[in-house]
Structure 1
């Protein structure tokens, strides 16, 4: 138990940041609600070598009934009354899934929880709160907190949009504080690798513009798939520092990229603090159920003064 307490202190305090990871991943905290339906999709838990993942349950567990597939591949498996801590010795391979089964100590339903342990290129679950009932007080409180946070974020975004709408032409940009004496500098984007794609989307040439308060990343995507596609979401993250850059807006030109065509993606972000040779990951997604996504690694290949 002392060992478990020490592990929890590190997890909850986040005293050991991402430099302990062999590949920097963003640490995520989220929740999972179990389903009593055996045909329902098994929830995934994203694990990574060098990162401890804490699963916190809302009921007591049968500590001697925990089943971890490939347990010998884990550097750490610690079970408490309501918690489970996992840390693999090595990252799982692409598409690999190890099954985890826990059983509860009481007679309530569902009697057990089943999870698929997977690896993700850019994220790892630092903490997963597991609930048995969707309408429990804890779940409702968590969802209410999420709604409040979303409303606050939308209010901030609305104010930013209103400020940008008022900015018309160079004079408006100056009035909005978006254009200063430092001016705007630009440069080409160099694509390093494609991290994750279904093969139907390719990143091609691009450029970036930077000011003291904002940056714009503009590049072209070739749609080689059979269906139209547009970028509705974007994530930009420094691979060296593990820091996510705040995305302000995402635009696709034209609005939808037809099969066989090439379109332009424009991502407005907060000012990027560039460092020589630093790599950034860019992940694009759409709103369709197919969930076609594209992730690339880029560097800024030089800038004009």
Structure 2
């Protein structure tokens, strides 16, 4: 029976990709269920907000992340730029308020899991007079653009939003079919071959430990790192060690970011067990669907725990 959840854009549970199951089996690991994250998923690069006449003090969550810009655009309403308030504004590299937009660029000084309140007031005095956001600091992901509609939205904007939802739903359906097919099909090397995930080159491995650098702020120590490639798939296996006195650590999310901030479609991270100081070799597997062309160059790997406060950041990851 398969136990791995679908990729985070879908709401239907399904199975683990065959390649990762084989890798886990070959290395003798025991997978366990992913723990729920207290952080927002932060999957959407763009959000739309339609303000009611009486918002009743509602606050809207927006994901931000160190070094990633977020733009909030207001339609049919101008702002009182001098009345903008932002908690922790001194920890942002950029905070710019225009007539109809707010630009934000958090610095490395914002803390993952932190929640900062942003309030903007409208210039025309109509209802609602203001809007408030909670900026949730995510270790790796940010909502890049937020569109706020204060008056009635146009038909075109509704049609565009509906089109985007239909596209996401179709992608989820296709992925559900694919993952169910993999789960119900043959296992082991036969499964890899049947799914066309392995060609005559097999699964190729590369020791990348000597080429990578661990960020000083990483919560765990890095002992080893090996990257893998199969047909249409790549994976990174890191061995981590918790410092003395550290609480157990479990990866709740992973991101592989390459040149030009190109992000690979990483699956939920797998690890053998929660990592605490008693664990000698805490192995974590990060897998992504990607072609050879998409994985050229050096990548940064970022892992974070359920509340986002303890991350592992490694740069210089390359694939065979």
Superposition TM-score, scaled by structure 2 size: 0.60
Q: Is 1:47–1:125's contact at 8 Å kept on the other side of the alignment?
A: no
Compute the displacement of 1:186 (Å). 1.0
User: Which ranges of structure 1 fall in alignment gaps of 5 or more residues?
Assistant: 1-26
CA distance in 1, matches of 2:81, 2:142: 26
Q: Which residue of 2 aligns with 1:22?
A: none
Matches within 5 A, 1:92-111: 92=107, 94-95=109-110, 101-104=119-122, 105-109=124-128, 111=129
Q: Is 2:300–2:317's contact at 8 Å kept on the other side of the alignment?
A: no
Compute the displacement of 1:298 (Å). 3.4
Compute the displacement of 1:46 (Å). 5.8
Which secondary structure state, in structure 2, belongs to the residue aligned with residue 171 of structure 1?
Answer: helix
**2:188 pairs with 166, 169, 178, which one?**
169
CA distance in 2, matches of 1:95, 1:142: 33
Q: Is 1:188–1:301's contact at 8 Å kept on the other side of the alignment?
A: no
Matches within 5 A, 1:287-298: 288=306, 290-298=307-315
Q: Could you give the per-residue CA deviations for residues 49-88 of structure 1, whole angstroms, max 9, x where no partner exists?
A: 9x6x5322255234565547889x98895633xx215377
CA distance in 2, matches of 1:33, 1:219: 43
Superposition TM-score, scaled by structure 1 size: 0.62
**TM-aligned CA distance change 1:277 to 1:195, over 3 Å:** farther
The count of aligned residue pairs is 260
Matches within 5 A, 1:244-259: 244-254=263-273, 256-258=274-276
> RCO higher in 1 or 2 (8 Å CA, sep ≥ 6)?
2
**TM-aligned CA distance change 1:101 to 1:172, over 3 Å:** closer
Matches within 5 A, 1:139-178: 151-165=169-183, 166-178=185-197
* More strand, by proportion: 1
CA distance in 2, matches of 1:161, 1:142: 29
Which secondary structure state, in structure 1, belongs to the residue aligned with residue 234 of structure 2?
Answer: strand
**TM-aligned CA distance change 1:153 to 1:257, over 3 Å:** farther
Root-mean-square deviation (CA), in Å? 4.7
Q: Could you give the per-residue CA deviations for residues 187-243 of structure 1, whole angstroms, max 9, x where no partner exists?
A: 11233122754x3x33331211112321121112223465433223221110x2321
Compute the displacement of 1:115 (Å). 5.5
Q: Which residue of 2 aligns with 1:218?
A: 237
Q: Is 1:234–1:283's contact at 8 Å kept on the other side of the alignment?
A: yes
Which secondary structure state, in structure 2, belongs to the residue aligned with residue 244 of structure 1?
Answer: coil
Q: Which residue of 1 aligns with 2:303?
A: 284
In the alignment, structure 1 residue 183 sits paired with structure 2 residue 220 = no
CA distance in 1, matches of 2:268, 2:117: 38
Q: Which residue of 2 aligns with 1:263?
A: 282
Q: Is 2:225–2:239's contact at 8 Å kept on the other side of the alignment?
A: yes
Which secondary structure state, in structure 1, belongs to the residue aligned with residue 191 of structure 2?
Answer: helix
**1:273 pairs with 292, 296, 303, which one?**
292
**2:248 pairs with 228, 251, 254, which one?**
228
Q: Which residue of 2 aligns with 1:192?
A: 213
Compute the displacement of 1:33 (Å). 8.1
Q: Is 2:139–2:304's contact at 8 Å kept on the other side of the alignment?
A: no
CA distance in 2, matches of 1:75, 1:95: 13
**2:221 pairs with 194, 199, 202, which one?**
202
CA distance in 2, matches of 1:41, 1:234: 25
